């Protein structure tokens, strides 16, 4: 019987709240807190059991600490924005509460996608006897656990990793992002980095393209190599990796809009002065775009996210592919959300469950692949994200 405070009432926050509410035997009390409390109340109204809601500015450590001291939760699930990670970690330390998130800390003024700021909290959490679990979404999150599971059960040594994130869903808008537009656009416009022979190699954004055919008739999609934060932790925790790459599918229309918006400066993160006011172009753009949490009823099609690992077992080379396929409309039926928020929110709930059940509890700051993948993988099958594993004869995205 445990109490959680969920911070952030956006697309992902909605799913996490639904999924936690479905498991009263684990999450016996739920508080959903966010900057705009009416969004918390709207989510609460969709649920079959009562939860508490609260208004909080998670940038303000003192305000959040007061809320945590009042509520005394066992765990904070941070699904606000990456900008709040450090202030929420500080408040957790001040109030003596465990911490979980789904995205690495980002400074407002530079797109970095680095763990160093959060890894620097290792000693503080250890000394406080508190656990911080980083990156418990889908990617990062499930993809890290998939990699750990494959390394544990299929290989003596893993050498190559390709994380492939295909969204075959269509929301009918010429341009919209499936999760927070600011974070999404920062991610896809950043320079690409991939791991090659013990180093990160930098290439221009979207400069490497491949074609990937998903299993189970999901379709064939153009995927683009890009940097994604789990590459940093996975190459650190699996040092035998000689190459690691992350790929994401994008449609023609999305890329064309992004190119034009980039060319005219609308994706910039530096403030500009406009009629006496400081405006950050990408934040203004966010205000114009559809809210990702409203895409649920319109999005049709499937996501297919998985990892391909090459390595050695008993002296022989092998290739293993582990993936999940999820239908956007099925997600909408269950939790009134599209599959991108769903595939992030379910692993956040499962990571929280692992911590609250004591399966993943160890003072310090940990990336998700550092814990035993088996109980998490079992729960993925139970709580809406079933996966399959297949051995491949060949695999090549360079061809």
> Per-residue x/- mask for ligand NDP, residues 181 to 200, rule CB under 6 A?
--x-----------------
Report the nearest approach of ligand NDP to the CB of residue 88 (Å). 9
- Which of 9, 21, 176, 355 is in the footprint of ligand NDP by CB under 6 A? 9
Does position 167 interact with ligand NDP (CB under 6 A)? The reply is no
- Which of 131, 267, 337, 344 is in the footprint of ligand NDP by CB under 6 A? 344
Report the nearest approach of ligand NDP to the CB of residue 116 (Å). 18
Does position 179 interact with ligand NDP (CB under 6 A)? The reply is yes
Report the nearest approach of ligand NDP to the CB of residue 136 (Å). 8
Closest CA to 31 of 53, 57, 2: 53
- Which of 5, 10, 128, 145 is in the footprint of ligand NDP by CB under 6 A? 10
* 206 Rama sector, left if φ>0, alpha if ψ -120 to 50, beta otherwise: left
Closest CA to 322 of 275, 280, 373, 273: 373
* 155 vs 332, beta carbon nearer ligand NDP: 332
User: Alpha-carbon distance 369 to 233, whole Å?
Assistant: 8
Structure tokens at 248: 């994401």
- Which of 6, 21, 30, 39 is in the footprint of ligand NDP by CB under 6 A? 39
User: Alpha-carbon distance 226 to 148, whole Å?
Assistant: 21
Nearest-CB residue for ligand NDP: 10
Which of these segments, 52-60, 196-204, 234-242, 349-357, binds ligand NDP (CB under 6 A)?
Answer: 52-60
Structure tokens at 16: 């996490």
Does position 385 interact with ligand NDP (CB under 6 A)? The reply is no
Closest CA to 186 of 87, 86, 83: 83
* 39 vs 225, beta carbon nearer ligand NDP: 39
* 7 vs 319, beta carbon nearer ligand NDP: 7
Does position 79 interact with ligand NDP (CB under 6 A)? The reply is yes
Does position 169 interact with ligand NDP (CB under 6 A)? The reply is no
Closest CA to 58 of 71, 68, 72: 68
Q: Which of residues 280-319 bind ligand NDP (CB under 6 A)?
A: 292-293
Report the nearest approach of ligand NDP to the CB of residue 12 (Å). 3
Mind giving me the DSSP string for 324-387? Answer: EEEEHHHHHHHHSS-HHHHHHHHHHHHHHHHHHTTTT--SEEEEGGGS-HHHHHHHHHHTT--E
DSSP SS3 for 75: strand
Mind giving me the DSSP string for 157-213? Answer: EEEEEEEEEEE--B-S-SS--SS-HHHHHHHHHSPEEEEETTEEEEE-TT--EEEEE
Q: What residue ranges bind ligand NDP (CB under 6 A)?
A: 7-13, 34-36, 39, 56-59, 79-82, 84, 102-103, 137-141, 179-180, 183, 292-293, 344
């Amino acid at each position: 019987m445990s109490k959680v405070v969920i911070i952030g009432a956006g697309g992902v926050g909605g799913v996490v709240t639904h999924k936690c509410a479905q498991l009263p035997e684990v999450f016996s009390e739920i508080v959903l807190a966010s900057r705009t409390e009416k969004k918390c109340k709207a989510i609460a109204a969709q649920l079959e059991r009562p939860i508490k809601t609260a208004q909080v500015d998670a940038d303000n450590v003192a305000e959040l600490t007061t809320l945590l001291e009042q509520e005394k939760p066992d765990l904070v699930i941070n699904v606000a924005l990456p900008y709040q990670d450090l202030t929420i970690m500080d408040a957790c330390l001040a109030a003596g509460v465990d911490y979980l998130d789904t995205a690495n800390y980002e400074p407002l003024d530079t797109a970095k996608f680095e763990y160093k700021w959060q890894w620097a909290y290792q000693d503080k959490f250890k000394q406080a006897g508190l656990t911080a679990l980083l990156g418990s979404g889908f990617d990062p999150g499930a993809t890290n656990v998939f990699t750990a599971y494959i390394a544990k059960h299929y290989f003596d040594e893993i050498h190559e990793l390709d994380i492939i994130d295909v969204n075959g869903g269509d929301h009918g808008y010429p341009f919209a992002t499936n999760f927070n537009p600011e974070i999404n656009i920062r991610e896809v416009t950043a320079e690409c980095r991939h791991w090659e022979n013990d180093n990160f190699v930098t290439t221009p954004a979207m400069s490497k393209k491949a074609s990937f055919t998903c299993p189970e008739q999901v379709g064939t999609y153009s995927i683009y190599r890009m940097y994604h934060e789990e590459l940093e932790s996975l190459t650190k925790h699996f040092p035998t990796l000689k190459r690691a790459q992350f790929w994401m599918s994008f449609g023609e229309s999305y890329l064309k809009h992004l190119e034009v918006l980039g060319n005219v400066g609308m994706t910039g993160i530096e403030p500009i002065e406009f009629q006496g006011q400081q405006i950050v172009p990408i934040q203004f753009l966010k205000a114009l775009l559809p809210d990702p949490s409203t895409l649920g009823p319109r999005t049709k099609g499937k996501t297919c996210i998985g990892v391909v690992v090459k390595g050695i077992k008993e002296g022989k080379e092998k290739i293993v592919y582990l993936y999940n396929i999820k239908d956007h409309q099925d997600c909408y039926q269950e939790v009134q959300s599209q599959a991108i928020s769903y595939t992030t929110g379910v692993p956040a709930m499962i990571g929280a469950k692992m911590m609250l059940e004591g399966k993943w509890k160890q003072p310090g700051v940990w990336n998700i692949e550092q814990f035993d993948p088996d109980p998490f993988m079992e729960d993925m099958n139970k709580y809406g994200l079933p996966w399959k594993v297949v051995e491949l004869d060949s695999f090549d995205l360079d061809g």
